[in-house]
């Protein structure tokens, strides 16, 4: 068995999955709306900031969390943004599951 060939097969399977196709379709729609795209990018940056603070400081930044919650509330009121965020979440869950399957197969759970 060629590991690289199997990795390419997995990449193709991911690209052909409903989760990826829907996420990709909605991402392209969002990208056509510069204002919505900017709002979603800002949300993602704040989420990354929150995760970074949690990892480095070991605690939750309640002010930043409040900002994120407000942004999510505002964005989910927009149907296109809500659909995108749901598709992004489904795709992220699928990718997390794949990573866990791979890690479990070689017994490296501590890395995830």
Give residue 1's pLDDT: 80
Q: How far apart are CA 104 and CA 80, in angstroms?
A: 36
Give residue 67's pLDDT: 95
Give residue 7's pLDDT: 95
Q: How far apart are CA 97 and CA 104, in angstroms?
A: 10
Give residue 101's pLDDT: 93
Per residue in 29-48, pLDDT (tens digit) is 999 999 999 999 999 999 99
Give residue 109's pLDDT: 64
Give residue 61's pLDDT: 86
Give residue 84's pLDDT: 97
- pLDDT < 70 stretches in the chain: 109-112
Q: How far apart are CA 72 and CA 43, in angstroms?
A: 8
């Amino acid at each position: 068995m060629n590991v690289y060939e199997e990795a390419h097969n997995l990449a193709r399977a991911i690209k052909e999955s409903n989760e990826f196709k829907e996420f990709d379709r909605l991402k392209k729609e969002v990208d056509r709306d510069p204002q919505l795209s900017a709002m979603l990018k800002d949300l993602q940056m704040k989420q990354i900031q929150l995760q970074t603070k949690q990892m480095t400081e070991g605690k939750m930044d309640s002010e930043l969390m409040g900002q994120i919650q407000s942004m999510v509330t505002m964005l989910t009121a927009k149907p296109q943004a809500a659909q995108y965020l749901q598709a992004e979440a489904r795709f992220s869950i699928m990718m997390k599951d794949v990573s866990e399957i791979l890690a479990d197969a070689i017994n490296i759970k501590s890395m995830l």
